[in-house]
Amino acid sequence: MNKKLIGRRDFMKSSLAGFGGLFFLPPLDMKQEVRVVETKGKEKKLVYRTLGKTGLKLPVINMGVMLTDNPNLIRAALDSGILLLDTAHGYMGGRNEEVIGSVIKGRPRDSYYIASKVSLPQDRTKGLFTEGATTEEFLRRLDLSLKRLGIDHVDILHLHGVSRKESVVFEPALKAFEKAKKDGKIRFVGISTHSNEPEVIHAATDSKAYDVILTSYNFKQKHYAEVRNAIARASQAGIGIIGMKAIRGAFQQPPTIKNIKASLKWILQDPNVHTIIPGFTTFEHLETDLSVMEDLILTEPEKLELQKEASILGLYCQGCRQCLGQCPEKLPIPDLMRAYMYTYGYRNLALAQDLIVSLNLPSRVCEDCSSCPVKCSIGFNVSKKIRDVARLKNVPSDFLV
Amino acid sequence: MKTICLGVGMFIFLMGAALEAKDFAFPEMAGWKQSGEIQTFIPKILYEYINGAADLYFAYDFQELKVAEYQNEKKVSVTVDVYRHRTPLYAFGIYSQERLPEANFLDIGIQGYYEKGFLNFLTGPYYVKISTVNTGAEDREVLVAFAKKMAENLGTKGSFPSILSAFPAEGKQKHSEKFIAINFLGYSFLHSSFTADYELQGKKFKLFVIEGKNKNECRDMIEKYLQTIKGPRKDTTEGRYTLSDPHHGEVGLHWKGRYIWGILNLNEASLRLKYLKLFEDRITKK
């Protein structure tokens, strides 16, 4: 009866203490340059930083093109002072690169920069490359990308979607980069990461094989401090840092981030981030993003708003996977938390039961331990939720079909 | 007592929801075995599987992805990805965004296409992608066999959105129809639209149709469009408009009832008029 549960108030208190570092960053580096440019009769302030050892001088806001096939929106971005267009071999089945190709056709090659990404077959659960991940396949994909873009080289080519240190130094990819660089098809070698970012960034820094790192980085990440430290080390080693997912889902309905400008400013507070590539789909969003450069300093109300948002307790597992390996019974906690979300979030008991059955759980789940050693990063009582949802395995499936 | 009532109420509520739930099984394939467990990706973790491409899937109300891996005795593997979207329209939308007009089209589900190493198809609310490496000369045969079995397991295939039949046939580029789910033309007030590419007399242009909820919503869209481009103020009535859009050039539009249709990238007024009329005839018949 002496169970000690973390109440919402306690959670808020502890979280806010944890978020204390949200704004404790070094002061903005003076190595940024401010220029006032005139576009379509309007003056606009643009802030430039240098992308590490590549020497490319880029505005701090560029464009992730993955969301749009609207050539006039991409044109408007370039005409507004944006210099870097970020795409990938796989976006829109290749159409994304084709649309960019139609926009840059006829523009001087030194008036824009193109970053693309090539992925190789990968076991996504392990994050390791698999059969078919060869130098030849990588180069074949690069050639197809160049054809779609209508250019003879890209400025940055990223190895796409890496989540393990072993994959950072995957020999066939490194060989492909070497050959592509020698043949003049790429200028700089990059790597992109969406999960397990700190490990990937450190490995990329240690490998000395990469000029640029493209990483997820936002104030809602549970591990933003680790990402920040890894970025700082990479930047010190001369690697150019491009941030992404700064406003993760902000343009979705309902939005997952409320204050877009403050979210963009947050990531740009970090002087080790040289540029970011938000994706936008409207001319209005483009203007909103560019307007951030008018003043990069977060105001006190903006700070408060970000702090409040970062501390909101989610109802469901955030997928940080920090619980892995903590359970003495080796229960697959993230999967069980997903079943919990199917049950109470999706209200889909059949789906939850399917998942639970597929996990081959022992007959007694979370009933034999006197205390649970699992420490959830957002304070969930994990064993309680597991006991709750595991009951579904005993419900006759006829009830749930 | 209160707790018991709440518990029973919740159970009944969840049971009701469960009755509506649909699930599917990955097929048994002769000569192939499923390797590993079926992986499931919900929106929050879709990035882990398809990286930044996930953003576009969210615009099409992506719900869940299930992935199965198969292997034969020669250790050749086939991966089957089944993306479920909230409605068949959204599934068509994401399929249309990735469809390669020059590919080899197949009669699988509503439609499918094959290219070396992969086969994609659309059926109901599902967008299915099947891929393989090292299947050699049997590549197409293997992928088609998997696709057919998978399509059988995914239930009623449905059909393309009926409004696509309103697009005039003359000059229409095969397999170019798309559904843009958000912010058509880069304007949030124009929400979604169906588009198709055309080529006639050496001219390339695009037709589109926006399906509003009702007449008032369409009026609202026209008014906002006029405000945005600072067009001449006039009473917004049903009929034809020629707008001078700073981003898209001259845009020919026609509004009638809950439909707005139009033409992009076509400066020749007579041809523009011809297509707006053709469109009108076909929409009226709907």
If pLDDT is split at 50, 70 and 90, which confidence band does A136 have?
Answer: very high
Tens of pLDDT, residue by residue over B41-73, are 888 788 888 988 898 999 999 999 999 999 999
pLDDT > 60? residue A98:
yes
Q: Which tens digit of pLDDT belongs to each residue from B154-175?
A: 999 999 999 999 999 999 999 9
pLDDT band at A26 (very low <50, low <70, confident <90, very high): low
User: Computed from CA positions of residues A277, A279, A285, A287, in that sequence, does the dihedral angle turn out positive or negative?
Assistant: positive
- With CA atoms as reference, the chain B residue closest to A79 would be B247
Which residue bears the tokens 């020919």? B252
Query: pLDDT per residue over A239-280, tens digit each?
Result: 999 999 888 655 444 556 678 899 999 999 999 999 999 999
User: How many Cβ pairs closer than 8 A exist between chain A and B?
Assistant: 130
Average pLDDT for chain A: 86
Residues A105 and A236 grouped into a single domain: yes
Between B71 and B4, the more confident residue is: B71
Domain that holds residue A171: 25-309
Q: Say how far apart CA B56 and CA B85 lie, in whole Å.
A: 12
For residue A122, pLDDT over 70 is answered with: yes
- Same domain? For A367 and A279 the reply is no
Separation CA A393–CA A360 (nearest Å) = 10
Distance (Å, whole) CA A160 – CA A118: 5
Cβ atoms of B119 and B145 within 8 Å: the answer is: no
**Which residues lie closer than 8 Å to A333 by C-beta, 6 or more apart?**
A323, A324, A326, A327, A374, A382, A386
Which residue, of A258, A283, A309, is where some domain finishes? A309
* Residues A333, A327: Cα–Cα separation, whole Å: 8
Measured between beta carbons, which residues in chain A are less than 8 angstroms from residue B56? 66-67, 91-92
Residue of A nearest to B57 (CA): A67
List CB contacts (< 8 A) between A73 and chain B: 186, 247
Whether A161 is covered by a domain: the verdict is yes
How far apart are alpha carbons A132 and A191 in whole angstroms?
Answer: 19
Of B48, B98, B186, the CB nearest to A283: B186
Residues A299 and A325 in one domain: no
Predicted pLDDT of residue A168: 98
Q: Which of B15, B39, B188 sits opposite A349 (nearest CB)?
A: B15
Residue of A nearest to B21 (CA): A348
Interval A5-9 mean pLDDT: 38
| Structure tokens given for A55 | 């020497």
Residue A307 has a pLDDT of: 81
Largest CA distance in chain B: 78
**How far is A215 from A201, CA to CA, in rounded Å?**
8
Chain B positions touching chain A (beta carbons under 8 Å): 13-15, 17-19, 21, 23, 36-40, 42, 44-45, 47-53, 55-56, 58-59, 67, 75, 77, 97-100, 120, 133-134, 182-183, 185-188, 247-248
- Which residue in A73, A216, A349 is closest to B14 by CB distance? A349
Positive or negative: CA dihedral A232, A233, A234, A238 = positive
Q: Are strands A154-159 and A186-193 parallel, antiparallel or unpaired?
A: parallel
Under 8 Å between Cβ of B88 and B98: no
CATH of B162-285, one of 2.60.120.260, 3.90.950.10, 3.40.50.300, 3.40.1000.20: 3.40.1000.20
pLDDT in tens, A352-400: 887 888 788 888 889 888 889 998 877 788 998 999 888 888 887 766 6
Q: B179 near B162, Cβ under 8 Å?
A: no
CB-based contact B40 A95, cutoff 8 Å: no
Q: Do B23 and A94 make contact, defined as CB atoms within 8 angstroms?
A: no
Residue A58 identity: L
Query: What are the start-end ranges of the H helices in A183-280?
Result: 197-207, 224-236, 260-269
pLDDT at res. A400: 65
Mutant choice from A91, A144, A160, A359 vs B, greatest count of B C-beta within 10 A: A91
Q: Which residue has the higher pLDDT, A83 or A37?
A: A83
Which amino acid appears at position A199 of this protein? Answer: E
Domain boundary among A283, A309, A335: A309
Which of A119, A125, A401 lies nearest to residue B39, judging by beta carbons?
A125
Q: Per the domain annotation, does A13 fall within a domain?
A: no
Task: For residue A147, tell me if it sits in a domain.
Answer: yes
Q: What is the pLDDT of residues A211-232, one digit of tens each?
A: 999 999 988 887 888 999 999 9
Say whether domain B25-153 belongs to CATH 3.40.1000.
yes
Cβ–Cβ < 8 Å for A345, A315: yes
Q: How many CA atoms lie within 13 A of B283 on its CB side?
A: 21
In-domain check, residue A170: yes
Which residues of A fall within a CB distance of 8 Å from B47? 194-195, 216, 245
Q: Which of A38, A169, A173 is nearest to A117 (CA)?
A: A173
DSSP state of B230: T
Report chain B's mean pLDDT, rounded to a whole number. 89
Tell me the pLDDT tens digit for each residue of B179-236. Answer: 999 999 999 999 899 999 999 989 999 999 999 999 999 999 999 999 999 877 677 8
Reported confidence tier of residue A21, pLDDT bands at 50, 70, 90: low
Q: Distance (Å, rounded) from C-alpha A140 to C-alpha A168?
A: 20
Query: A168 near A207, Cβ under 8 Å?
Result: yes
Mean pLDDT to the nearest integer, B131-139: 81
What is the identity of the amino acid at B184?
A: F
Chain A nearest-CA distance from B38, in A, is 9
- The arithmetic mean of pLDDT across residues B237-254, rounded, is 94
Chain B residues whose beta carbon lies within 8 Å of the beta carbon of residue A341: 42
Is residue A338 pLDDT above 50, yes or no?
Answer: yes
Residue A44 and residue A115 in one domain: yes
Question: How far is residue B211 from each of residues A287, B94, B194, measured CA to CA in Å?
Answer: 28, 18, 8
CA A105 to chain CA centroid, nearest Å: 30
Identify whether residues A302 and A332 lie together within a single domain: no
Domain boundary among A284, A309, A334: A309
User: Which residues in chain B have Cβ-Cβ distances shorter than 8 Å to A282?
Assistant: 183, 186-188
Task: Starting at the earlier edge strand, list the strands of the sheet with B259-264.
Answer: B178-180, B193-200, B203-211, B259-264, B249-256, B239-245
Q: What is the pLDDT of residue A37?
A: 85
Q: What is the DSSP string of A344-371?
A: HTS--HHHHHHHHHHTT--SS-S-S-SS
Which residue ranges make up each domain of chain B? 25-153, 162-285
Q: Quick check: A142 and A176 in contact, CB under 8 A?
A: yes
User: What residues of B are in contact with residue A95 (Cβ under 8 Å)?
Assistant: 97-98, 100
Say yes or no: do domains B25-153 and B162-285 share a fold: yes
- At a CB cut-off of 8 Å and minimum separation 6, what does A154 contact? A114, A115, A116, A142, A145, A146, A185, A186, A187
Angle at B162 between CA B157 and CA B164, to 5 degrees: 115
The tally of domains found in chain A comes to 2
User: Within this chain, do residues A170 and A246 fall inside the same structural domain, yes or no?
Assistant: yes
Whether residue A9 is predicted with pLDDT greater than 50 in this model: the reply is no
pLDDT score at B7: 42
Same structural domain for residues A260 and A302?
A: yes
- Report the distance separating Cα A48 and Cα A35, nearest Å: 8
CATH number reported for the structural domain that contains residue A247 in this entry: 3.20.20.100
A324 within a domain of the structure (yes/no): yes
> Which residues in chain B are contacts of A93 at CB distance < 8 A?
97-100, 120
Rg (CA), chain A: 23
| % pLDDT > 70, chain B | 92
Tokens of B201: 């007399």
% of chain B exceeding 90 in pLDDT: 73
State which residue of chain B sits closest to A132, comparing Cα positions. B133
Residue B20: pLDDT over 60: no
Residues whose CB falls within 8 Å of the CB of residue B269, separated by 6 or more in sequence, listed in order: none
Same domain, A152 and A269: yes
**Treating both helix axes as pointing N-terminal to C-terminal, what angle do A349-358 and A333-344 enclose, rounded to 10 degrees?**
160
Partners of residue A240 on adjacent β-strands:
A212
Do A125 and A139 fall within a single domain? yes
Report chain A residues whose CB lies below 8 A from the CB of B50.
90, 161
